[in-house]
């Protein structure tokens, strides 16, 4: 008996790991929802899957009976049945009812997710009380502008947990699609119109060890060779931390002075070759057309380099010396001359020092 119990535990344990691993990674998977939108969508998935499993079960039973019972055993000709009104009515009406059961919550959720009325409610300053982020998708990077806070960042979206965050979405070159699977379904960034929706980031899930406050974001619409590499990260932090981050960002009024000699050399190179496209101040006064590349104000605090490479000095040097190799078709390749190892060292030192929070 005891042995059996042990086996049972083992079985249970392995089943559990199987189920858990079957849910993907908590920072990426839509099956481990970490916010209101994703949770509602997950519930809708569970509802529709249950209905469908029911349908499959009915079909499976009939199917198996048919295959077992009605194999050809002799050469007799079976009775030619024309049909059955009763049966046909049953399998017309029941699916209609099932579809209705699914249709009602679907329609409700569709309207709920589209409710962005808070974006229109302006307070005395002409700003919204709700947090708004303007997302601009570019080949192959993301810009995040906070219009109320008047700051801009790129690649790492920073958001507070536990409240609705509203998004304006647009693309500046070709169509992309903005998707944070664990937090909510996607919406396209079109080239001609602004799309709006909201997401909410769950505090508890964000703080969990596996997520560690960083969700993965993806581009979901084919946009060219490096479509697969157009990742971004989402730092979901508490409201207090978020406010701190905002004020730290806002405090950068002009490009931060490099502190070491090497970094100063790097800054010089940067000012000659890079600053035409890359800003190192977060203010949002420059027009969109002039913001041709990711804003690097807090580059030293990013999760990744170019969205996909590890945030290490070596990876940064690799990236700077041959961006085409790591992100084919990107717009940075060929805009500057070849960098010597010394120049790479200097630039790396400077860029890695671009931090606003001093942690």
Partner 1 sequence: MSTIAQKRGFGAVLWEYLTTVDHKKIAHLYLFAGGFFFILGGIEAMIIRIQLIKPNNDFVSAGLFNEMLTMHGTTMIFLAAMPLLLGFMNAIMPLQIGARDVAFPFLNSLGFWLFFFGGVFLNLSWFLGGAPDAGWTSYASLSLASEGHGIDFYVLGLQISGFGTLMGGINFLVTIINMRAPGMTYMRMPLFTWTTFVASSLILFAFPPLTVSIFMMMFDRLFGSNFFDASMGGNTIIWEHFFWIFGHPEVYILILPAFGIFSEIFAVFSRKRLFGYSSMVFATVLIGFLGFMVWAHHMFTTGLGPIANAIFAVATMAIAVPTGIKIFNWLFTLWGGSIKFTTPMLWGIGFIPSFLMGGVTGVMLGAAAADYQYHDTYFVVAHFHYVIVGGVVFSLFAATHYYWPKMFGTMLNEFLGKITFVLFFIGFHLTFFIQHFLGLWGMPRRIFTYLPGQGLDTGNFVSTIGAFLMAAGVIVILINIIMTSVKNEKVGNDPWGDGRTLEWAISSPPPFYNFKQLPLVRGLDAYWIEKMEGKKGMIPAEPLGDVHMPNNSFVPFVISLGLFIAAFGVMYQADEGNTWGIPVIILGLAITFGSMLARSLRDDHGYHIHKEDLMDDNDKGVKA
Q: Report the site for partner 1 in 165-224 (rule: CB under 8 A).
A: 169, 171, 173-175, 177, 179, 181-182, 184-188, 190-193, 195-196, 216, 218-224
Q: Minimum distance from CB of 262 to partner 1 (Å)?
A: 31
* Closest listed residue to residue 306, CA positions, set 204, 232, 201: 232
Beta carbon nearer to partner 1, 208 or 264:
208
In whole angstroms, the minimum distance from the beta carbon of 53 to partner 1 comes to 8
Q: Which one, 83 or 337, has the nearer CB to partner 1? A: 83
Following DSSP, what letter does each residue of 261-280 receive, concatenated? HHHHHHHHHHHHHTTTT--S
Out of 1, 3, 57, 82, point to the residue binding partner 1 (CB under 8 A). 82
DSSP per-residue codes, 97-128: HHHHHHHHHHHHHHHHHT--GGGT-B-TTS-B
| Shortest Å, Cβ 77 to partner 1 | 6
- Report if residue 24 touches partner 1, rule: CB under 8 A: yes
Decide: 157 and 163 in contact? Cβ < 8 Å.
no
The one among 2, 71, 257, 359 contacting partner 1 by CB under 8 A: 71
* Contact indicator for 209, 26 with CB cutoff of 8 Å: no
Choose between 119 and 308: whose C-beta lies nearer to partner 1.
Answer: 308
CB of 105 to partner 1, least distance (A): 8
Contact status: 330 vs partner 1 (CB under 8 A): no
Contact 329, 141 (CB under 8 A): no
Structure tokens of 134? 């303007």
CB 173 to partner 1: min, Å: 7
Cβ 133 to partner 1, closest distance in Å?
Answer: 16
The window from 93-101, 122-130, 146-154, 273-281 that contacts partner 1 (CB under 8 A) reads 93-101
Task: Report residue 187 CA to chain centroid gap.
Answer: 10
> Contact between 353 and partner 1 (CB under 8 A)?
no
Half-sphere exposure of 220 (CA within 13 A, CB side): 14
Q: How far is the CB of 24 from partner 1 (least distance, A)?
A: 3
Nearer CB in complex with partner 1: 10/114 = 114
CB 177 within 8 A of CB 189: yes
- Which of positions 103-142 make contact with partner 1 (CB under 8 A)? 103, 106-107, 109-114
The least CB distance from residue 174 to partner 1, in Å, is 4
The size of the interface with partner 1 (CB under 8 A), counted in residues, is 94
> Which listed residue (1, 18, 19, 79) binds partner 1 by CB under 8 A?
79
Fill in the DSSP letter of residue 229. G
| 341-352 helix and 261-273 helix, angle to the nearest 10 degrees | 100
The pattern of x and - marking residues 232 through 251 that bind partner 1 according to CB under 8 A reads: --------------------
Contact between 83 and partner 1 per CB under 8 A: yes
Which residues from 25-64 bind partner 1, rule CB under 8 A? 25, 28-31, 38, 40-41, 44-45, 48-49, 52, 55-56, 59-60, 62-63
| 245 close to 357: Cβ distance less than 8 angstroms | yes
Q: Are the CB atoms for 333 and 319 separated by under 8 Å?
A: no
DSSP 289-304: GG--S---TTGGG-SE
Q: For partner 1, give the closer residue by CB, 35 or 282.
A: 35
CB atoms within 10 A of CB 354: 21
3-state secondary structure of 151: strand
Residue 312 CA to residue 101 CA, distance in Å, equals 52
Distance, in Å, from the CA atom of 315 to the CA atom of 318, rounded to the nearest integer, reads: 5
Of residues 81 and 290, the one with the C-beta less far from partner 1: 81
Coil, strand or helix at 349: helix
| 276 is a contact residue toward partner 1 (CB under 8 A) | no
b/e sequence 78-95, b meaning 16+ C-beta within 10 Å? eeeeeeeeeeeeeeeeee
Nearer to partner 1, 78 or 341 (CB): 78
Q: In the range 289-318, which residues lie near partner 1 by CB under 8 A? A: 308
């Amino acid at each position: 008996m005891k042995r059996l119990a042990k086996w049972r535990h083992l079985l249970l344990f392995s089943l559990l790991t199987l189920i858990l691993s079957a849910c993907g990674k908590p920072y990426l998977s839509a099956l481990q929802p970490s916010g209101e939108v994703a949770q509602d969508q997950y519930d809708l998935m569970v509802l529709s899957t249950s209905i469908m499993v029911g349908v499959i079960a009915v079909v499976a039973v009939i199917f198996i009976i048919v295959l077992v019972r009605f194999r050809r055993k002799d050469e007799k000709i079976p009775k030619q049945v024309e049909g059955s009104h009763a049966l046909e009515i049953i399998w017309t009406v029941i699916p209609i009812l099932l579809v209705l059961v699914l249709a009602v919550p679907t329609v409700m959720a569709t309207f709920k997710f589209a409710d962005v009325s808070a974006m229109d409610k302006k307070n005395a300053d002409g700003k919204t009380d709700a947090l708004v982020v303007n997302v601009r998708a570019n080949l192959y990077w993301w810009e995040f502008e906070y219009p109320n806070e008047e700051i801009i960042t790129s690649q790492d979206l920073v958001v507070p947990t536990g409240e609705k965050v509203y998004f304006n979405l647009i693309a500046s070159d070709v169509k992309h699609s903005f998707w944070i699977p664990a937090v909510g379904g996607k919406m396209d960034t079109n080239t001609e119109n602004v799309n709006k929706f909201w997401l909410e980031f769950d505090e508890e899930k964000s703080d969990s060890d596996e997520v560690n406050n960083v969700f993965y974001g993806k581009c979901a619409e084919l946009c060219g060779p490096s479509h697969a590499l157009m990742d971004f990260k989402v730092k979901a932090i508490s409201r207090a931390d978020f406010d701190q981050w905002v004020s730290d960002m806002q405090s950068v009024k002009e490009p931060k002075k490099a502190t070491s000699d090497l970094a100063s050399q790097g800054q010089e190179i940067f000012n000659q070759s890079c600053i035409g496209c890359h800003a190192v101040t977060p203010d949002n006064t420059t027009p969109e057309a002039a913001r041709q590349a990711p804003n690097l104000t807090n580059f030293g605090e990013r999760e990744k380099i170019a969205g996909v490479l590890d945030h290490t000095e070596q990876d940064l040097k690799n990236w700077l010396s041959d961006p085409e190799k790591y992100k084919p078709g990107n717009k940075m390749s060929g805009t500057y001359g070849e960098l010597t190892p010394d120049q790479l060292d200097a630039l790396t030192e400077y860029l890695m020092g671009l931090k606003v929070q001093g942690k």
